Structure formats: structure tokens, C-alpha cells
Homo-oligomer: A and B are copies of this chain.
Amino acid sequence: MNKVDDTCLVECVHSDNVEQVVLKMEPDENLFLLAELFKAFGDSTRIRILHALSFSELCVCDLAHLLNMSSSAISHQLRVLRGQKIVKYRKDGKNVIYSLVDAHVATLLEQGLQHVNE
């Protein structure tokens, strides 16, 4: 069984447009990574973490208090953000202090907020 929709015949396609677009499309691999990046932003817990970090670096415990959540839950989410290279961290004694990797991340957040508050 094929994933292509058999009910949609070739004739319906605006061939000129589609071919133009095909040529310009990024490789699927890049688009997949892009989706993974946005997915990391696509959770209210992680967004709140990132929003908080846009003002100041914070340790896990700070974040847990700030968001009124367990430090375990926070840590799990920070792991996701680390995986996407959205946050970085440094150790300070018993604490681990997190911050945004660069201003680029803050810009994305800002752009998104503008869209929401349009």
C-alpha cells in the first residue's frame, strides 16, 4: 500500500508552481532538524524555562521554584533543550546553572511572542 493519495490525479497539480518549489526546497534532513528544533520550543514548560532564562541564568532549583514544578521534571525538560543545543550550563558547586546558548534563541522567542501578541 502506497502513502500517495490515489484519489488525487496528476492533472490537478499546478505543475509549473510545484516544479519551481521543488528546486528551491531544502533537503528533507534539514527540514527534519528544523522541526525538531521547533518541537523543543513547543511545550509550555520548556517555553517558560526559556523565557525565564532570557532574563537571567538560573539553576535547576531556581527554575523548579519559579515554575512550581519538581526539579526532576525540570531536569528532564532541560535535557531536551540541551539536546537541541538551545541551552548551555556550567557547574557551580552543587548547583548546575543554565543559560541560553546565544542571543539567537532569545530572538526566536521574541519573534514568537510578537506573533502571539500581534
Contact = CB atoms under 8 A, between A and B. Distances in A.
A38 B42 contact: yes
Interface string A11-25: 011100110111011
B55 A20 contact: yes
Given A20-B56, A35-B46, 11 more contacts: A4-B68, A5-B69, A5-B72, A8-B71, A14-B59, A21-B66, A28-B44, A31-B48, A32-B47, A35-B47, A104-B111
Given A18-B58, A56-B21, A69-B5, A41 B44 contact: no
A55 to B, nearest CB: 5
Nearest to A23: B55
